[in-house]
Structure 1
Amino acid sequence: MSAIKHSHRSCSPTCAFGAFLALSMTMVNAAVAQESGVSSIEEIVVTASKRGETSAQDLAMSISAIRGETLEAMGAVEFTDFSRSVAGLDVLDVGPGQKRYLVRGLNLPGESTVGLYYDNITMTGTGAEAGDFGRNQADLDLFDVERVEVLRGPQGTQYGANSVSGVVRIITNKPDPGAFLGKVAASGAAKADGDADYSVKGMVNIPLSDNVAVRGVGYYSEIGGFIDNVQLGKDPSCYGVDPATTNPEIVLLPGPGCLDGTSNVRDINTHTRAGGRVSLQWTPSEQTRVLFQGYYQDIDSDGRNATHPLGAVNFIGTPPVVALRSDNGFFTTPATGERQSAALSHEPYEEEFWIAAFELEHDFEWASATIAASHMERDSITRLDSSKPARLHRSFQVVGLGPWSEAGVGPGTGPFRGAIISPFDRVSLMQDLESEVTNFEARLASQHDGRFNFLAGLFYQDNVRALDSEGRIADPSTGRDAAQTDIVAAFSPASLANFTAASADWQTDPFTITARQSENTTETLAAYGEVYFDLTENLEIMGGLRWFETDRSQDSAIITPFANQILIQFGSPAGMVGPEPNTPSTESDTLFKSQITYRPTDDHQIYFQVAEGYRAGGVNATIVSTIPPSYESDQTLNLELGAKTSWLDGRLFTNLSVYQVDWDNVQFEASYTQQFNALVNCTERSDGVRAKGFELEIQAQATENLDFGFNYTSIDAEWQVDSPDCLTAAGLADTFEPPGQLNGDSLIGVPDYSGSAYLHYNFDSAPLGAESGFVRFDLMYQGKVKVNDDDLDENLSNPSYVLANANAVLDYGKFSVGVFIRNIADEEAHLSLFQGLQSDNRVTPSNPRTIGANFTYNFGDYD
């Protein structure tokens, strides 16, 4: 496989992006000046305001909308395929089903900062650990989607919790009783480096009567992997003490002599996605619509989309440990090639979920009423290489702080032999994450012709999320669960006896060395309302409030015998086995929103908005008494000035929004001796984080056949306080290690600037006998991104990158054929980076250059 990094370019990313925009603007200006009789841009109708259908361009808010036809033209099949083409929208992606969505750069652990909706269904993340529920957001296939709506800025009054920076709504096509319709689509593609992709998808719309129809969608896709593991699958002689180190306490498996860049475990990130949805719609009258929906999806991934091209230097232990270690408390993880992984254990991911939903709409003429209810169950099982903590605990064992130290083992008493957590220095963390969410919302939106209108609603949610986490000893060669006989043979007799005495689970499940179960229950009740008043024909004011009450509790138990060594070190009583205290929390508050909108003409509007959003508080796992039992909600206050304009008889849209967001009482993650994390609030000052920026969007219908658009986003999201001061204000400075954020530091994972552009050309007379066709080019640019706040490690950044895609389709009426190229330059971009206690500086890379073809056949009553 190729591990060549494309670093020699004749034009920098900024140069390439600027050249593309300059060329495109030249083409548009020339076309606009010469063409006459060109149709206006087809506006997209959205329902984001919850007040009925409105053109996205006419809605006085920062919103982007993408119609389903555009998603198909882009070749978008999942969230990441369109997210970088939307101003202010980003995603931290560690694999299918494992994403955190971001708007305007607000990114911290905890609940999501972005609300996600499929139709009227509220989606929530399952999290990757207790409390960090913003991770692992749902990611459905985009086949047969009507449109995507992205609302930027806090939407707290209408959408409630977890909309502190924005909302993403994915709207599916609904059943149509007026026609029998069907579609079959198939595609296949080859990568420059890795396995092939293929997919088969279908849709059928069946009228059952004049006012009843059913629509079914099904899909299956297999996405070939392109990442190779250079640690697993080696000859057994490779696995031993690293001969390059002078410290026998440090073990690198395999040794440097075996890290030659080759691998017997290839394309580890291959994954499949299968699912579908069924919807039935009944319209008993022109005023009433009833909709039933069912969703199902299954994801099965062989491994993570993660590489280790940066390596890592790790600090382990606390000052007492460092003083006793010959390496001063540091160990290293070697860097690999760009499309290579150094994970020491197998990391599959499985996910299954289903949704049942009901929706009722009725038009009273003076107002429209909507009732929406849904129930979702989502279950995911993931594996994460957790060998880094195993090496950490080996450090504690070496200095004699653990309860299982053997005679003759310790500083100055001879070489270290036994490994308490894993005799192979390899641990796989298995996490079974289950989520059950029930939602109910009822709202009434007036539709008077007069100067006054209103929106009022009630919302209820019951969210139960369960976590079953187990650390298991991994086999050094396969990375899978080690055999019992191998584990027993590797442990020394004294260590094995102490381990058996410390944990009853060891006797029945020798693979499990630590386990934790938790069930987190959140119940939310809210009422909201907004009023709108036209002061004049051109000037509107609005105001809104949302009251909410959230009850949260957590039941959990832990079996962590090796953690006793930490308690002994700090003089706390042992006894880390058993249930944790349950400290329920209740919180209520009121949010507000106000806005003034001025429309000097039908084509121009300016608005100024003040709006709040919030993330719910919660309950920590009180593994040790110094961890706070709960944390409060945090809030954002958004000041935004926006302008939305239409020119040249609707052939040119230019939209601009400038904003400042203050994040108050911000939740952030701190660690207890780098082993147990908890969420705490920064109460040091009211604006712990501040984000400032702007979003510019331009779209033009240059000719009858050519349309063009680009957007540019600038974000400056920074800490306004030193995180150690946050811990001091909370009374936790002596027990928690600060995460390293300092006043003026940027939030991690947030680019200072990004942008995208596209050109789309439709053929009136297509080649090869086709009735019509099109070609489309998409370009995405992202600036450098800070990805690490660890002040004990190197301060890492993802470099800037440009990704380019092309798609061409010929339409023959009932069927069409197309070809596409994704990542034309085969750019090895670092899309995101994640690191922490469990993992070292892991990069999510862009897919290699992918060239493919697709085929679509339409049947039924198409024109």
Structure 2
Amino acid sequence: MQTKTDFRRSVLACSVALGAFGIASAAHAAEAAAEAVDAATDPNMIVVTASKRSQALIDVSQSISVITGADLAYRNQMRIEDFAASVPGFNFQTAGPRAIRLILRGLNTGGSGATVGVVIDETPFSYQSGLANGSIDTANLDTFDMERIEVLKGPQGTLYGATAEGGLLKYVTNKPNVDKVEAAVEANGEIVDQGTTGGTIRGMINIPFWGGKGAIRASGFYQDVAGYVDNPLLGSNNSNRGYKYGGRISLLLKPSDNFSIRLTGSRQDQKFDDNSFVEVVGANTAPLNPPANQFDIANGGRLVQNSFNGNPNKNYYEYANLVLDWDIGFASLLSSTSYGRLSSEFRTDITSANAAPGFTFQQAFAGVYGNDFSLWGRQTNAVKRWNQEFRLTSKPDTNIGGMGLDWQLGGFFAKEDVTFEQFFDAINNTTKAVIETPFPVGGSVLPGKYEEYSGFANATLHFTDKFDVSGGIRYADIKQESLVINYPGLITGVPVITANPITRSSENKVTWSAAVNFKPTATTQLYARVATGYRSGGPNLIIPGAPADFKFTYGPDSVTNYEAGVRTTLFDNMLSIDVAAFYIDWNNVQIITSYVSQPSGTRYNVIGNGGKARSQGVEWSLAFTPVKGIRISDTGAYTDAKLTEDAADLGGFDGDQLPFVPKWSNTLNVDFEAPLGDNAKAFGGASWVYTGERFTGFTSAPGFRGHIALPDYSSFNLQGGVEFGRYSASLYVRNLTNERGLNDYSTGNGYRLTGLAQIIQPRTVGIKLTARY
């Protein structure tokens, strides 16, 4: 049910949108999208910076997907969950509105470290310490005023280091324009099935100065996020509603033709009253023998999550980046200095969570706190990261022995400071006060540090204008340390003072890549690549009463990726084909496992290494333009990712499919545009998104069941509108058929012994107004 406050927020958002629409002028994004459609059929027209230099896509000897800013706006793809389906082999696992795990080419076993790196322009923004929760605390940037997004598949360790062993997500923001004034505004309102309304306002302005030698560009947004999950225990409707806001400002100075300075700062905040899990039938009392209807929505189909205290959450991420770029004659020298910070705070009601199958924490602690109590966990993850990179890049006309030569040399430094705090409170349900006696529940604080020095080099030798060979290497020296401070309580037990509470780890790692590229025609490319990547190891917690075989450090895992691909356009750019096949060996796989300390019996989750895995498959992107104004495109992947030996600590066995990786996934788009007269046109499109059967994460906890097959599902999206010169208006529908596709699931942990699941957002209908000057 929509509240008066929700209604007022929506009216305010739509009023701001209409006012902005009336005073701004713009060229509609569909026109730019049409240009992007034309460019997408010609790999010579698409320029990327994946190799830390500007290259035509047809010169890049690896699998890469590019989504232009115009296409993001046209399809209303404002976050990772929206645009991931446009990239073959790109999957994700949602962990509530604040957290998302990225998965490329199937590399996922549920560890705490990221396997997909994130970069914003020249700023690395994925965290490498195992204590930083880098796997789910991902920079999920609003995509407004984005030039493009590049997704590199396969390990990128040579250029980007740790966390990029599965691939890389790179945001490329629009630079300040020194040639002209620009401004834009975009506003939308939407309503979610069984939920409330929401609205968004976004704006940008670009101002040149200093006679064309400088410019400043600023953008910002505010989003009132619609909710659709109720909490009857608290009498709250649409309790997962929230808001997001953020901005970016960038200054570009070009005092001479051979020197430029770019300074960028950005921050994005979001806050939600609750997470978006819903109660399903589940299999709480019989997880090893679940009923046939375990995935059905409980409560008669109403989207509900009952909790005594709610699960509020908020986070922010911010960064500042200074890039100095010199042309020093024989090469260009770039210095990139950046600082990033992420903070994530959330509270989780664990009252109905399972201490054992069919037995909740509320039941377990009733003898201590009585019957009218609940358990509320509170956690804070905070990371600060400093980066410095120097990079020397050859000029485009460099040659040796009459052959073209592109080369790079670079040095990199990174430092992370991590604070990880986790506490639990017993709450009196009547007074909502914390119960201090007879025992606190307990908690812990885990500060940590990460430091890396690395150097890299790569080169491409052009034997002819049709054939080249490239290779690269990176050496990294990594040191880490951590400390656990336990506070006494029923969960954490009585702390044991150790002689040396600080644990440390040190490692050296070398990664390399090699590729060949053959272009038989100007629009056809054949390539093959071998590359390695890794995810750093680190220190583990010191656990009181740990088993004798417990390791206080865990090792890095690593991958070797083999791939071959073809890109081509045929019939005068009427048909484009981009296909890649890959095979990946994954060794010493990092996993989350658990140990029970003695004599308290407390279970601790720690990081370990659990054997080997393999991923192989095919990815494709196809586009067909039968007549001008109509385009049909298809992107998809077949991914066979599985363990290749038993991993007892993980609860997995040889042959088990890796979590949240569908064997088959596919997205089919049909788009059109048609003239309506002078300076006016209509545009529209439809998308079908198919996600195949996936498996949930593993678990080694006795009596619990993990690795559960989730049903496949399809969703349909529509968008269409009209453009009148500089103005446009459009309508869109996401999840047209209101599919209840599952992104995550557990057999228990719901109120009154139900299960919990994450579903894709219900049917959402919206209107968008845009303008650009």
The CA RMSD measured in Å over matched residues stands at 3.0
State whether residues 56 and 64 of structure 1, in contact with CA within 8 Å, keep that contact through their aligned partners in structure 2.
no
Cα shift readout 1:530-571 (whole Å, capped 9, x = no counterpart): 122234443322221110011100123011332477xxxxxx
In 2: Cα distance, 1:653 partner to 1:107 partner = 31
Distance 1:549 1:294 in 2: 29
Which letter does structure 2 place at the counterpart of 1:675?
R
SS in 2 for 1:427: strand
The amino acid that maps onto 1:820 is Y
Distance 1:575 1:374, change over 3 A: closer
Q: Which amino acid aligns with 1:689?
A: A
Query: 1:64-213 alignment to 2 at 5 Å?
Result: 64-108=65-109, 109-125=111-127, 130=131, 132-209=133-210, 210-213=212-215
For normalisation by structure 2, the TM-score amounts to 0.86
C-alpha change, 1:536 and 1:203, in structure 2 (3 Å) is: closer
Amino acid at match of 2:663: D
Distance across 2 between alignment mates of 1:653 and 1:58: 16
CA contact (8 A) 1:345 1:428 kept: yes
Residue 604 (structure 2) pairs with residue 676 (structure 1):
yes
Q: 2-side partners of 1:222 and 1:580: how far apart?
A: 49
2:304 is the counterpart of 1:340: yes
Give yes or no for contact 1:39–1:651 (8 Å, CA) kept in 2.
Answer: no
- Encode CA deviations 1:50-87: one digit per residue, 9 max, x unaligned: 35322224422100001111001101111111111210
| Aligned position for 2:227 | 225
Distance 1:169 1:39 in 2: 20
Offset, 1:676: 0.8
Confirm whether residue 420 of structure 1 aligns to residue 368 of structure 2. Answer: yes
1:294 is matched with: 265
**Cα displacement (A) at 1:207:** 1.1
Q: 1:311 to 1:288 in 2, by over 3 A?
A: same
The Cα of 1:739 is off from its aligned counterpart by 2.8
**Paired letter, 1:552:** Q
Query: In the superposition, relative to structure 1, how do residues 549 and 423 fare at CA in structure 2: closer, same or farther (>3 Å)?
Result: farther
| Structure 1 residues 425 and 754: alpha-carbon distance in aligned structure 2, compared to 1, 3 A threshold | farther
Contact 2:283–2:747 (CA<8 Å) still a contact in 1?
Answer: no
Name the residue aligned to 1:236. Answer: none
User: Is 1:441 the equivalent of 2:389?
Assistant: yes
Distance 1:293 1:396, change over 3 A: closer
1:384 and 1:288 mapped to 2: Cα distance? 51
Taking the TM superposition and a 5 Å limit, the aligned residue runs for 1:389-788 are 391=355, 418-420=366-368, 424=372, 426-446=374-394, 447=396, 448-449=398-399, 450-476=403-429, 482-484=432-434, 487=435, 496-497=437-438, 499=439, 506=440, 513-563=441-491, 575-576=495-496, 581-624=501-544, 625-626=546-547, 627-673=550-596, 675-682=603-610, 688-724=612-648, 738-765=649-676, 771-788=680-697
Q: Distance in 1 between matches of 2:508 and 2:747?
A: 34
* Aligned-partner Cα distance in 1 for 2:534–2:734: 37
- 1:335 is displaced (CA, Å) by 5.1
When residues 809 and 288 of structure 1 are mapped into structure 2, their CA distance, relative to the original with a 3 A threshold, is farther
Name the residue aligned to 2:739. Answer: 827
Q: Kindly tell me: are residues 702 and 334 of structure 1, through their superposed partners in 2, closer, same or farther at Cα, counting changes over 3 Å?
A: closer
TM-score scaled by length of structure 1? 0.77
Correspondences of 1:41-80 after superposition (within 5 Å): 41=41, 43=43, 45-80=46-81
User: Is 1:311–1:334's contact at 8 Å kept on the other side of the alignment?
Assistant: no
Superposition deviation, residue 751 in structure 1? 0.8
Identity of aligned residues (%): 24
Contact 1:302 1:347 in 2 (8 A): yes
Specify which of 723, 729, 734 is matched with residue 811 of structure 1: 723
1:734-783 deviation per Cα after TM superposition (whole angstroms, max 9, x unaligned): xxxx33100100111111110111122122226xx861231122221100
Change (3 A) 1:603 1:418: closer
Gaps of 5+ in 2: 3-37, 288-295, 597-601
Offset of residue 312 of structure 1: 3.8
1:687-717: CA deviations, max 9, x gaps? x010111101102333221122101201111
Structure 1 contact 558–580 (Cα < 8 Å) conserved: no
Kept in 1: contact 2:443–2:492 (CA 8 A): no
Cα deviation code 1:500-543 (max 9, x no counterpart): xxxxxx5xxxxxx2121111110111101112223444332222
**Separation in 1 of the partners of 2:747 and 2:540?**
21
Structure 1 distance, partners of 2:554, 2:271, is: 35
Structure 2 counterpart of 1:462, one-letter code: K
Residue equivalent to 2:758: 844
Pick from 691, 707, 711 the counterpart of residue 799 of structure 1.
Answer: 711
Corresponding position of 1:379: 343
Q: Does the CA-based 8 Å contact 1:40-1:650 persist in structure 2? A: no
Q: How far apart in 1 are the matches of 2:471 and 2:193? A: 54
How far off is 1:45 after superposition?
Answer: 3.2
After TM superposition, give the deviation of residue 334 of structure 1 in Å. 11
Secondary structure of the 1:346 match is coil
Q: Report the Cα offset of residue 365 of structure 1.
A: 5.2
5+ residue gaps in structure 1? 3-37, 234-263, 317-332, 399-414, 489-495, 500-505, 507-512, 566-573, 725-737
**Paired residue secondary structure (1:635):** strand
Query: 1:735 is matched with which residue?
Result: none
**Gap change, CA 1:137 and 1:423, over 3 Å in 2:** farther
Give yes or no for contact 1:391–1:425 (8 Å, CA) kept in 2. no
> Secondary structure of the equivalent of 1:117?
strand
Structure 1 residues 40, 165: closer, same or farther in 2, change over 3 A? closer
Code of the residue aligned with 2:279 in structure 1: it is H
SS of residue in 1 equivalent to 2:490: helix
Say which is worse superposed, 55-64 or 690-699, in terms of deviation: 55-64
Residues paired across the two proteins, number = 708
Cα distance in 2 for residues equivalent to 1:542 and 1:39: 26
Contact 2:192 2:763 in 1 (8 A): yes
Q: Structure 1 residue 370 and structure 2 residue 334: aligned?
A: yes
Shift in CA distance, 390/775, structure 1 to aligned 2, threshold 3 Å: closer
Question: What's the secondary structure of 2:484's corresponding residue?
Answer: strand
Give the stretch that moved more between structures: 383-392 or 370-379: 383-392
Structure 1: distance between partners of 2:518 and 2:315: 48
For 1:472 and 1:835, the matched residues in 2 are separated by 25
SS of equivalent to 1:723: coil
Report SS of the residue matched to 1:828: coil
The answer to whether the 8 A contact 1:540-1:598 is kept is yes
**The 10-residue stretch of structure 1 (367-376 or 113-122) with the greater mean CA deviation from structure 2:** 367-376
C-alpha distance in 1, partners of 2:39/2:263? 38
2:23 alignment counterpart = none
Q: What displacement does 1:618 show?
A: 1.2
Tell me: CA distance 1:130–1:699, structure 2 relative to 1, closer, same or farther (3 Å).
same
Give the stretch that moved more between structures: 769-778 or 74-83: 769-778
Distance 2:194 2:327 in 1: 55
Does the residue aligned with 1:273 lie in a helix, a strand or coil? Answer: strand
Change (3 A) 1:471 1:458: same
1:278 aligns with 249
**Whose strand proportion is higher, 1 or 2?**
2
2: CA distance, partners of 1:275 / 1:455: 35
Distance 2:199 2:465 in 1: 55
Q: Please give the alpha-carbon distance, in whole angstroms, between the structure 2 residues aligned to 1:268 and 1:126.
A: 33
SS of residue in 2 equivalent to 1:70: helix
What CA distance in whole angstroms lies between the structure 2 residues aligned with 1:542 and 1:416? 61
Aligned partner letter, 1:693? G
